[in-house]
Structure 1
Amino acid sequence: MALDLNRIIKAYDVRGLVPEELSPTVARAIGAAFARTVVLPEASGETRPAVVVGRDMRDSGPELVDAFAAGLTAEGVDVVRIGLCSTDGLYHASGVLGLPGAMFTASHNPAAYNGIKLCRAGARPVGEATGLAELRDVAQTLLDAGDGDTVAPDGPGQVTDREMLGEYATFLRGLVDLSGIRPLKVVVDAGNGMAGLTAPAVLGTAAGLPELPLEIVPLYFELDGTFPNHEANPLEPANLLDLQTAVVANRADIGLAFDGDADRCFVVDEKGVPVSPSAVTALVGLREVEKEKAAGRTPAVIHNLITSRAVPDLLSAAGARVVRTRVGHSFIKAEMAGNEAVFGGEHSAHYYFRDFFFADTGMLAALHVLAALGAQQHPLSELGEMYEPYVSSGEINSRVADAAEATRRVLDAYRAAYPGIDVDTLDGVTVSNWDGHPQWWFNLRASNTEPLLRLNVEAADHDIMEKVRDDVLSLVRAETDEPAPGEGPDETGETA
């Protein structure tokens, strides 16, 4: 009996165990379904349609790519393989070549997993509401029939190989000029992921570009999909410890950590203290806002609803039109395109740029942070203080039997204690006293895939944050099991 693809094709991408769930047979069916549902319907007819395909360092990648390519070529679609790359490297290729794309990666998931991130030409996303559900149904039909082969009217497609790392590095450097900054010592933790390839190319001279005023101290640059040193998921605090130690030991100015497919970037200051993604969103957003204003344009910036209130406060004061959106990259990408936004940021360290095809790229965010740090003499710890004026709890997960009932308990209690309190339901419930005293807000939202409620709290000071946090948790957990292990969302807003 064929695998139920609902197990591995989710809201944003494909992700599954290899080969139990994601096998060459499944990859071939997904390739054929991608051709039928996305590639061929959008083809111009002037040239043979093509798809650009990349992969990360996982051992299962080459075989899965070949199978996926076979599914595409059987439908008469050409394949341009760009080999090892980061996910934002694939987006760059899709953008500059004007082709739909497929990136074989399981991001920060353990070595036993692999997956596929799909996009239309120009790096436009393919998610559940934008074609992935239809693709899943077609692929399921092919698997159930046991034969996905067709005869393309013009014969099978062709597979070619193309090297694009140098073009990717040149493109990013063209967006942020680091040539005039003060010298910086930078520790980069690649986690044995794709930043081991992209960091030397963009920040160094591996792609043949001129030397920058950066001294790079590498950690775990060896590409190894078994992740022998630590998981390539910097959102988990334990995975930042090596970077924090190395920054202090090397007296570095800054530390950068990337996830497995190197599309997310996390920042550590010279004291080894993590800089929150909200602070990075504000810092980078202000740079992009000023660039837009200098060009005579009114900038729009996107942020999700659990980033710090400092983000809309600072960006609005700088003259930006700030748009608040739900958690999840498909939502923020849609808002980016719909609002012609110059920049967007999420709490999960995804950063989106209009000048990068409205797609997310951790490396471009890193370049902006390096430029801001190197353009002045203060250490990053001092520079970052202006972007983190408030205190947040981080995301806290609670396992509950009935998420709706637990949420109702919290709302009833707060509406009774604070008549007229501000409540909105954009994504879960957000209860806010930000216009009152003391200032605080919290968001409580249910997981889409697990019996979990996720809590984020922010306040003007630490004592108030702790009081609100503990009060809400006591209500949530009044009739629940023990809290779920782990307190971090993954890149899609769901717990890893």
Structure 2
Amino acid sequence: MLPTPRADLKPNTLEYENIPLVAPQGFREYDARWLFEKEINLLGVQALGLGLGTLIHELGVKPEIAVGHDFRSYSASIKQALMTGLMAAGVQVHDIGLALSPVAYFSQFALDVPCVAMVTASHNENGWTGVKMGANRPLTFGPDEMTRLKAIVLGGEGKTRSGGGYTYVDDMRARYIADLTDRPAISRKLKVVAACGNGTAGAFMPEVLAKVGAEVVPLDCELDFTFPRYNPNPEDMEMLHALRDAVLEHKADVGLAFDGDGDRCGVVDNTGEEIFADKVGVMLARDLARQHPNAKFVVDVKSTGLFLTDPVLQELGATTDYWKTGHSYIKRRSHELGALVGFEKSGHYFFNNPIGRGYDDGCVAALAVLDMLDRAPDKTMADLKDDLPKTWGSPTMSPHCPDDKKYGVVDNVVAHYTAMRDKGETIMGQAIRDLVTVNGVRLTLDDGTWGLIRASSNKPGLVVVVESPVSEDNMRAMFAELDATLSTYPDVGDYDQKL
């Protein structure tokens, strides 16, 4: 048995080499993320694997798991420690090697195993590590499973068992690419810039796009775990601006940006304009609703209001359910409601049958964009975007807030705006028409302008998004209102990006 994990260990000490370091705040709502060596050490990762294996046995599923890792300098060693713990817990491990998160999810189906563990910090900066986990494909863990896993690991409840084993799978990349490209090629000639930010997606996305008939211009597709140009995050304007420049330089039809573990996709149109992922979701919903009348969609609370108000979606009988932000939440909600697709503003898209298997896959999303363009041969990406009713929206903005403070701040903000609504107070001279508190607070004014404040699920920070169907001025005024409210809390710090 491993010693019970502690959170107060310091590197370069005897204790650090003999006791698991696991900081409690690394257990997030639906996955786990830590600063490697500062908040978790390799023995801590081993304890995590032992705890995950113990939980798998508790859940009563077959103790067999697919495990992959992303392209960071330390991810392979973290995966080895995780697998050591899993095998000690009596779990049969299928090591799929370097992978994207969707490749790990795909491997559950390809290998017919119920469980998955993907070592990745996704788009978080270098220094971060984490694990995305699941035991019921295509779903990943939610708060219930993460709460129990935290208790097992931090309480030293991980149990060793016999029956563990190891198999290396050397062809999962090829099987994944073959699965995606076993389909008709696009008939329209399309030049596509594929931006991968030197992350793991560079080993997958350009080949997939080329095999379905696109002319691919690779941008930062060489694997380099230092991320020399920018962090691979398709919500980051630095990445989108680099993609914009490449689209204009090469006169491409569309630019596609992929995050570090390949489960998200961002889009730049043929004029070089960044289209936020929720607007791309509306465009895809229109296209797919024409193929599947009366389709049902799920979107997160950060997303544009057009999913409810767009006249084309209304005419096609499409319905939309707004739900909690987070890949695990939207994936599970889409599965439960039988939605055709779940969309997140972050670029996570969850395509269910007959398009996908229900998990988030940036490459499946990219192919859906190409298919949409293929079905509209007389329209450019900019034309399809301009066909949408005009709204002015912000990128996702994240002011820093410590993990142990952020939920309290959000609770207070929710109470503040709830009281304003109940008292009939106004914002920008307008009443609060609607208040959604399923995930933070999303307040909508009489003219449809709305703003959102919620706690980030995967890093120490808050999330702020605003949109107006009326004007850019109203959108900026809503941000000023939310920013002024947040400025009253000393625990709220600088933004990663602002309007």
Per the normalisation by structure 2, the TM-score is: 0.84
**Deviation per residue, 1:50-90 (Å, 9 max, x gap):** 21111111121222222222222223321111111111111
Indicate whether 1:351 and 2:349 are aligned.
Answer: yes
1:351 CA displacement: 0.5
> Which secondary structure state, in structure 2, belongs to the residue aligned with residue 25 of structure 1?
helix
Counterpart AA for 1:67: A
Structure 1 segments unaligned to the other structure (5+ residues):
205-210, 489-496
Distance 1:450 1:9, change over 3 A: closer
- How far apart in 2 are the matches of 1:180 and 1:478? 53
> Are 2:93 and 2:164, in contact at CA under 8 Å, matched by a contact in 1?
no
Name the residue aligned to 1:201. Answer: 207
- How far apart in 1 are the matches of 2:234 and 2:432? 39
Name the residue aligned to 2:172. Answer: 164
* Residues 108-147 of structure 1 aligned to structure 2 (within 5 Å): 108-129=123-144, 131-142=145-156
> Which secondary structure state, in structure 1, belongs to the residue aligned with residue 165 of structure 2?
coil
Counterpart AA for 2:438: L
> Which secondary structure state, in structure 1, belongs to the residue aligned with residue 29 of structure 2?
coil
Name the residue aligned to 1:306. Answer: 302
- How far apart in 2 are the matches of 1:87 and 1:349? 14
- How far apart in 2 are the matches of 1:453 and 1:256? 24
Name the residue aligned to 2:46. Answer: 28
Residues paired across the two proteins, number: 462
> Are 2:200 and 2:261, in contact at CA under 8 Å, matched by a contact in 1?
yes
Distance 1:166 1:410, change over 3 A: same
Distance 1:326 1:150, change over 3 A: closer
> Are 2:104 and 2:117, in contact at CA under 8 Å, matched by a contact in 1?
yes
Name the residue aligned to 1:182. Answer: 188
- How far apart in 2 are the matches of 1:72 and 1:478? 46
1:96 CA displacement: 3.3
Counterpart AA for 1:106: A
* Residues 365-376 of structure 1 aligned to structure 2 (within 5 Å): 365-375=365-375, 376=377
- How far apart in 1 are the matches of 2:76 and 2:455? 37
Distance 1:405 1:289, change over 3 A: same
- How far apart in 2 are the matches of 1:431 and 1:257? 30
Indicate whether 1:463 and 2:473 are aligned.
Answer: yes
Name the residue aligned to 2:228. Answer: 228
Root-mean-square deviation (CA), in Å? 2.8
Q: More deviation in 52-61 or 407-416?
A: 407-416
Per the normalisation by structure 1, the TM-score is: 0.84
Name the residue aligned to 1:66. Answer: 80
Match for 1:486 among 463, 484, 496? Answer: 496
- How far apart in 2 are the matches of 1:63 and 1:441? 45
**Deviation per residue, 1:453-472 (Å, 9 max, x gap):** 73523232223323333344
Name the residue aligned to 1:444. Answer: 453
> Which secondary structure state, in structure 1, belongs to the residue aligned with residue 425 of structure 2?
helix
> Are 1:452 and 1:484, in contact at CA under 8 Å, matched by a contact in 2?
no
Counterpart AA for 1:170: A
Distance 1:332 1:316, change over 3 A: farther
1:396 CA displacement: 4.5
1:308 CA displacement: 0.9
Counterpart AA for 1:9: F
- How far apart in 2 are the matches of 1:447 and 1:114? 16
> Which secondary structure state, in structure 1, belongs to the residue aligned with residue 198 of structure 2?
coil
> Are 2:190 and 2:253, in contact at CA under 8 Å, matched by a contact in 1?
yes
- How far apart in 2 are the matches of 1:398 and 1:17? 19
- How far apart in 1 are the matches of 2:453 and 2:160? 48
Match for 2:434 among 422, 425, 449? Answer: 422
- How far apart in 2 are the matches of 1:55 and 1:399? 28
- How far apart in 1 are the matches of 2:212 and 2:276? 26
> Which secondary structure state, in structure 2, belongs to the residue aligned with residue 29 of structure 1?
helix
- How far apart in 2 are the matches of 1:431 and 1:366? 32
Name the residue aligned to 1:338. Answer: 336
> Are 1:110 and 1:226, in contact at CA under 8 Å, matched by a contact in 2?
no
Counterpart AA for 1:165: R
Counterpart AA for 1:186: V
Q: More deviation in 312-321 or 90-99?
A: 312-321
Name the residue aligned to 1:150. Answer: 160
Q: More deviation in 83-92 or 439-448?
A: 439-448
Name the residue aligned to 2:3. Answer: none
Name the residue aligned to 1:261. Answer: 261
Structure 2 segments unaligned to the other structure (5+ residues):
1-5, 7-19
> Are 1:57 and 1:194, in contact at CA under 8 Å, matched by a contact in 2?
yes
Indicate whether 1:101 and 2:116 are aligned.
Answer: yes
Name the residue aligned to 1:19. Answer: 37
> Which secondary structure state, in structure 2, belongs to the residue aligned with residue 360 of structure 1?
coil
- How far apart in 2 are the matches of 1:25 and 1:309? 46
> Are 2:396 and 2:463, in contact at CA under 8 Å, matched by a contact in 1?
no
> Are 2:256 and 2:267, in contact at CA under 8 Å, matched by a contact in 1?
yes
Q: More deviation in 311-320 or 78-87?
A: 311-320
Q: More deviation in 91-100 or 438-447?
A: 438-447
Match for 2:65 among 28, 51, 71? Answer: 51
- How far apart in 2 are the matches of 1:481 and 1:116? 27
Match for 1:192 among 174, 192, 198? Answer: 198
- How far apart in 2 are the matches of 1:149 and 1:227? 38
1:367 CA displacement: 0.6
- How far apart in 2 are the matches of 1:352 and 1:319? 20
- How far apart in 1 are the matches of 2:95 and 2:454? 40
- How far apart in 1 are the matches of 2:53 and 2:418? 47
- How far apart in 2 are the matches of 1:478 and 1:115? 32
1:20 CA displacement: 3.4
- How far apart in 2 are the matches of 1:484 and 1:311? 31
- How far apart in 1 are the matches of 2:69 and 2:284? 28
